[in-house]
Structure 1
Amino acid sequence: MVGGKRFGSSFANAKLADSFRSVLMQASSRGEAFDLATGRPMSEITAARADRLWVQLAREFIDERWDDFAARHRQSTVDGLVTLTCGLLREGRQPPDLKMLREALTHWEFNTAARRRSAEPPVEYREALRWIAASSLPLDVIAQPDGIRAGMKAISTTLDGSRASASTVARKRAALSGPLRFAVEKGYLSHNPMRDVRVKRQQTVEAIDPRVVVNPRQAKALLDAVREIEPTVHGFFALLYYAALRPAEARAIRKDDLTLPESGWGQIVLHSSYQESGSAWTDAGTHGEERHLKHRSDRDTRVIPAHPELVKALRAHLATYELGVSGRLFVTRTGRGGHPIPAPWQNPVSMSTIYRVWARAREQALTPEEAASPLARRPYDLRHAAVSTWLSAGVDSTQVAAWAGHSVAVLMRVYASSLHGHQVQAMRQIEALIESSEGTDG
């Protein structure tokens, strides 16, 4: 019993159990403190901590969590672990080849799938791996306040020494807190040392920049330009603008997800998205994988009305182009050099194609001043325009949140600054009140 909590361990035979009991009795006789989290003597916890390096803890952590993480989450977590590992080094140590060290950590040390496929690392990584094993800080140093501050400094700085963005710091902070929580679970630490250090967090900007939001006239001009440049993806961009789909959701759209009447409004039932991460991070070794909707469980769906213009665009696509495997609408139909790929098309349309077409559409549809501005700089900004249009049209925020796949709180926090119609109405109300009060007393 430690701190009123009962702990127990099982052993293969009585001799091993007696040996372990003897260790506990000796520690108790010495008056040694016992760890409240594990029930073990602190000397045992300290020894486990002292013998373990940060690079070893990070590797154990990613191996433990690998199967639970989506491919994009694996990639993001490993990126943070690599940054931390390259920053948490013994005093005076500088990697002889930082690029090779980062590559060895990314594609071997912290890549569980790669180590499952082969017992030995590639020859080109071995020297870098030996170096980091001799240079990584011990866990007991990391657990001190100065160690935590060193970790926060590592994730707050880019490779060129400049300050990292608030969103990057927030993402990589999880790569520090995750392994430390894992160390507590494994009994290497008695508590998460990040609680002992107060670090001022950078304010992350969630609200969209109103300058990126196109009005309906500009959106129509951009979609018309896309249709001229690459008609096979016109419907893709129409989904982003008229239904506020994320690009990953539009890449996963299939014919069976659509209800498209000959006229009027239709309906879209979303149930998945296609996340692109790279073959190093997927279980099947493919470039991406189909996942459930963002912030939803595996079987959740999202139902969105399809504007008549969107219905028209999708019906035209279905009437003109052969579908990909499983009825997917937007697929890669050409390879390198523009050479056609024979059917059946399996891969969703590549984002490189989407970005290329969008860049040309902005040049064609916008004025030089608009093209040089942040206006609709990314295809994702069409989704922002869609949500902003719904809100400005007076659609109830709860309904807009459901269509967009947000909570109401996130919706209002992100899109409050883009409600141009509401702002104009508010200014008119203020103007009318002032005018009506002119010439009156009080």
Structure 2
Amino acid sequence: MSTTFKVRFWEIKKRAGRKRPYGVRWVTETKEHSEWYVTKALAASRLSELSGAARAGEPFDVDTGLPLSELRRKNSVSFLQFSQSYVDMKWSDAAAKTRASTVEALATAGAEFVKDVTGRPEVTELRGVLIRNLLPPTTRDLKLDEEQKEVVAWLVRNSRPLYDVTDASAVRGLLDALATKLDGKSAAASVYQRKRAVLFNMLSYAVEKELIPDNLLTRIKRKASKVVEQVDPRVVANPRQVEQLLTAVTYVGRRNADRGAHLAAFFATGYYAAARPAEGLALREDDCTLPEDGWGMLVLGESRPAAGKRRTDSGEVHDQRSLKHRGRKEVRPVPIPPVLVQILREHIERFGVGRGGRLFRSPNGGVVSYSTYYRVWEEARRYAFTPAQVTSPLAGRPYDLRHAAVSL
């Protein structure tokens, strides 16, 4: 590509008898260019754009006669196309939860970053096809119904050029979309920051690929609510309350294969070993040192977070990952008190172990689902707590047992 700052413009010329009689004419170096318009006002507006670019010191492409920024925008891949290539680049090395977070953030941005033309589908429809069909590499070849095909076709046609992210007002519009839920209310600060981080990284990748000159998010700031990083003390249960909860769990589902009793040791591991729920779900018999007396040891080395079939390499709902914030094969040894040693020994004696020695499993031998252990926990809270405590945040989630463990 050859560029120049030597640009000359001629006055608007009219040629009678043409559908577009008004011409804008200019020269880059020695090469002549022209564009023709229906009205003189349109021609004057176009001449103003070109001459403004020249006055601003912008280089022009000699062959096309266009300002360099306009040429890059014209030849730019769409925001959708580049989002897909970014997801492809990240997918293989990303955890399933990270994949889901990346897709969600880019779907929010991609549904916003479209041309302002008639026939625009609803935002929910645009986000839906982006999340289900267009962004995950594993689902792009799935069959679509006629309605979905129309939404996808519209989005492919009208996704704005990636180069438009060099415009500050366009980037601010993107940030506003990331900070707003579908119902128009403000998203949580943590959600906004997570989505903004994904967009920032994608635009940095575009700079690396030399598709845009710089990443405006390094300069554009948007005021957002502060993220609350401390644990709400109202969620932390005391030892007596935890004991009541663990007892109540055993009463859940007594008429349904003792589903609560099977998970009592799972919840106890969250409290006495400060294990995350996803770490507890992955616990195997070989990970446990359970002496007849005294303290024992758990060696946590795997996590089974729920991420959805579209996000995992195995096609299962639960991903199989290393521990959070640790290397791929790194483990975390956790000393456990005699009370948990006894609970786990009794669990293995009563329920045995599943495939691969896993302590906790669903009736069909799979990983216990998030919804299953949440329902058990909610029912146990109603058994163990007063009505006022049930409506309070106290131990509202199984994860809160981990906070209680740290407090203890």
Q: TM-score range by the shorter chain?
A: 0.7 to 0.9
Match of 1:257 in 2: 287
Counterpart mapping for 1:139-288 below 5 A: 139-229=162-252, 230-288=260-318
User: TM-score, with normalisation over the residues of structure 2?
Assistant: 0.79
Out of 285, 291, 303, the residue aligned to residue 321 of structure 2 is: 291
- Relative distance call for 1:320 and 1:142 in structure 2 (3 A) is same
* Structure 1 residue 364, shift from structure 2 partner: 0.7
Q: Matched residues in 1 for 2:282 and 2:203: separation?
A: 36
Counterpart mapping for 1:372-411 below 5 A: 372-389=391-408
Given that residues 225 and 361 in structure 1 are in contact (C-alpha distance below 8 angstroms), is that contact kept between their aligned partners in structure 2?
yes
Match of 1:320 in 2: 350
Report runs of 4+ in structure 1 exceeding 6 Å deviation: 28-34, 42-45
* Structure 1 residue 250, shift from structure 2 partner: 0.2
Secondary structure of 1:290's partner? Answer: coil
Q: Matched residues in 2 for 1:325 and 1:196: separation?
A: 52
User: TM-score, with normalisation over the residues of structure 1?
Assistant: 0.74
Instruction: Using the aligned pairs only, state the percent identity.
Output: 39
Q: Matched residues in 1 for 2:340 and 2:209: separation?
A: 53
Secondary structure of 1:292's partner? Answer: coil
CA-to-aligned-CA distance 1:363-401 (integer Å, 9 cap, x gap): 111111111111000011011000111xxxxxxxxxxxx
Match of 2:139 in 1: 114
Q: Matched residues in 1 for 2:243 and 2:125: separation?
A: 47
Say which structure is richer in strand.
Answer: 2
Match of 1:84 in 2: 109
Q: Does 1:47 align with 2:66?
A: no
Given that residues 306 and 369 in structure 2 are in contact (C-alpha distance below 8 angstroms), is that contact kept between their aligned partners in structure 1?
no
* Structure 1 residue 197, shift from structure 2 partner: 1.4
Q: Matched residues in 2 for 1:185 and 1:247: separation?
A: 38
Out of 350, 354, 358, the residue aligned to residue 373 of structure 2 is: 354
Specify the code of the residue in structure 2 equivalent to 1:87.
E
Say which structure is richer in helix.
Answer: 1
Secondary structure of 1:112's partner? Answer: coil
Secondary structure of 1:305's partner? Answer: strand
CA-to-aligned-CA distance 1:390-415 (integer Å, 9 cap, x gap): xxxxxxxxxxxxxxxxxxxxxxxxxx
Q: Matched residues in 2 for 1:373 and 1:261: separation?
A: 38
Specify the code of the residue in structure 1 equivalent to 2:248.
A
Specify the code of the residue in structure 1 equivalent to 2:242.
A
* Structure 1 residue 137, shift from structure 2 partner: 2.4
* Structure 1 residue 284, shift from structure 2 partner: 2.0
Given that residues 235 and 313 in structure 1 are in contact (C-alpha distance below 8 angstroms), is that contact kept between their aligned partners in structure 2?
yes
* Structure 1 residue 45, shift from structure 2 partner: 7.2
Given that residues 145 and 196 in structure 1 are in contact (C-alpha distance below 8 angstroms), is that contact kept between their aligned partners in structure 2?
no
Q: Does 1:368 align with 2:387?
A: yes
CA-to-aligned-CA distance 1:226-273 (integer Å, 9 cap, x gap): 122211011000000111100000000000000001111100111010
Q: Matched residues in 2 for 1:358 and 1:314: separation?
A: 19
CA-to-aligned-CA distance 1:108-157 (integer Å, 9 cap, x gap): 21011123x56x76654321112112332222322211011101100110
Match of 2:87 in 1: 62
Match of 1:132 in 2: 155
Instruction: Return 5+ residue gaps in structure 1 as ranges.
Output: 1-22, 35-41, 334-340, 390-442
Q: Does 1:73 align with 2:98?
A: yes
- Relative distance call for 1:121 and 1:49 in structure 2 (3 A) is farther
Q: Matched residues in 2 for 1:91 and 1:256: separation?
A: 59
Secondary structure of 2:139's partner? Answer: helix
Q: Does 1:309 align with 2:323?
A: no
Given that residues 78 and 110 in structure 1 are in contact (C-alpha distance below 8 angstroms), is that contact kept between their aligned partners in structure 2?
yes
Larger Cα-atom Rg: 2
- Relative distance call for 1:180 and 1:163 in structure 2 (3 A) is same
CA-to-aligned-CA distance 1:269-306 (integer Å, 9 cap, x gap): 11010021111111221112210000001011111111
Give the stretch that moved more between structures: 98-107 or 126-135.
Answer: 98-107
CA-to-aligned-CA distance 1:192-231 (integer Å, 9 cap, x gap): 1112312224310110100000000000000011122211
Secondary structure of 1:225's partner? Answer: helix
- Cα RMSD (Å): 2.3
Instruction: Return 5+ residue gaps in structure 2 as ranges.
Output: 7-28, 30-53, 60-65, 253-259
CA-to-aligned-CA distance 1:301-331 (integer Å, 9 cap, x gap): 1111111111111000010112111100000
Specify the code of the residue in structure 2 equivalent to 1:99.
T
Provide the aligned length of Structure 1 versus Structure 2. Answer: 346
Given that residues 72 and 163 in structure 2 are in contact (C-alpha distance below 8 angstroms), is that contact kept between their aligned partners in structure 1?
no
Match of 2:17 in 1: none
Given that residues 279 and 286 in structure 1 are in contact (C-alpha distance below 8 angstroms), is that contact kept between their aligned partners in structure 2?
yes
Q: Matched residues in 1 for 2:92 and 2:68: separation?
A: 30
Where relative contact order (Cα < 8 A, 6+ residues apart) is larger, the structure is 1
Given that residues 214 and 382 in structure 1 are in contact (C-alpha distance below 8 angstroms), is that contact kept between their aligned partners in structure 2?
yes
